[in-house]
Amino acid sequence: MSSRGRSNRRVVYETLRRKVLTLELRPGAALSENELAAALGVSRTPVRESLILLAEEGLVQVFPQVGSFVSRVDPQRVADAQFLREAVELAALEDLPAELDGEVVEELEANLARQREPGIDLEDFFALDEDFHRGLLRLSGHDRAWPTVVSAKGHLDRARRLGLYEANSPRTFVDQHAGILAAVREHDLPGARERMRTHLREVFADIGRIQERSPELFASNSTAPPVRRNVVVWE
């Protein structure tokens, strides 16, 4: 494959993955290689290859003779990703040095200030949330573990976004971040761990509420193909 072909596939993959994770392509939505290729201005080949990669991550399901669909959010995959994330972030707190890096602490405080901006766009908040948690890992010298966590939490991130959009305000999460950082700065390890654990497990309550109201967004039988009703494209 030429370097241009590899570049095309990477761009298409990253574009489609972002649209799945941000819920622009909703759980259960039907996908068409032809329509996606036309919307992205590429051939069907990088689209097909990208859908295969997304299927390997569990974000897309491909049913022969039926079609491709955005995977519904799988609560078990959410729980697995949450288990991994919690293990990494709580372990990192155990490795915090006696003297915290002042520059990183200042960056975290600035991050919190941006999170508190009135009317903040929820996707902007989500990006700040990710940076905040990676910054906490930097304090312990383990920020290189973050990409591994990110690669495993596709279903978790969709569930987190569903909860964020349902609340329509990040205020609760901002307050939790502030509490975690305060405990870290005070070297209150038990308090930081408890606040972090509570914060990270918030997603399970979100799933329970949203699943009751919108069960079609969640996986119930991953082997059964969805019903193809429409093709998803965007302007």
**Can you give the pLDDT at residue 234?**
45
Tokens, residue 54: 């997304």
The band of 4, judged by pLDDT with boundaries at 50, 70 and 90, is low
DSSP H helical ranges for 22-121: 33-40, 44-56, 75-94, 102-115
**What 3-state class would DSSP assign to 223?**
coil
Average pLDDT, the chain: 91
Whether the CA torsion 186, 189, 192, 195 is positive or negative: it is negative
What is d(CA 127, CA 161) in angstroms, rounded to the nearest whole number? 11
| CA geometry: angle 152, 154, 156, nearest 5 deg | 95
**Residues near 122 by Cβ (< 8 Å), separated by ≥ 6?**
161, 164, 165, 168, 170
Nearest to 74 by CA among 97, 98, 57, 91: 57
Structure tokens at 174: 């901002």
pLDDT category at 231 given cuts 50, 70, 90 is very low
CATH architecture designation of domain 3-72: Orthogonal Bundle (1.10)
Judged against a pLDDT cut of 90, whether residue 190 lies above it is answered with: yes
User: Is it the case that residue 233 has pLDDT exceeding 70?
Assistant: no
CATH architecture of the domain with range 75-213: Up-down Bundle (1.20)
State residue 230's pLDDT score: 47
Lowest-confidence segment of 2-16, 51-65, 68-82, 177-191 by average pLDDT = 2-16
Measured between alpha carbons, how far is 174 from 115 in angstroms, rounded to an integer?
6
pLDDT at 228: 52
Q: pLDDT value at position 220?
A: 78
Each residue of 87-146: pLDDT tens digit? Answer: 999 999 999 999 999 999 999 999 999 999 999 999 999 999 999 999 999 999 999 999
* Rounded CA separation 100/9 (Å): 41
Residue 221: pLDDT band (50, 70, 90) is low
With a threshold of 0.85, does the pTM exceed it?
yes
CA angle 172, 101, 87 (to 5 degrees): 55
- pLDDT of 103: 97
The conformation of residue 201, written as its DSSP 8-state character, comes to T
The Cα 57–Cα 109 span in angstroms is: 34
End-to-end C-alpha distance for the chain, whole angstroms: 30
> Is 70 exceeded by the pLDDT of residue 174?
yes
Mean pLDDT throughout 169-183?
A: 96
List Cα–Cα distances, 133 to 130, 174, 177, in angstroms.
5, 12, 9
Please give the Cα distance from 219 to 211 (Å, whole number). 10
Tracing tokens 């996986």 back to the chain, one arrives at: 219
What pLDDT, on the 0 to 100 scale, is given for residue 232? 46
5-58 tens-digit pLDDT: 567 889 999 999 999 999 999 999 999 999 999 999 999 999 999 999 999 999
In one-letter notation, the amino acid at residue 38 is A
Domain ranges across the chain: 3-72, 75-213
Q: How far, in Å, CA of 61 to CA of 68, rounded? A: 6
Q: What would the mean pLDDT of 162-189 be, rounded to a whole number?
A: 95
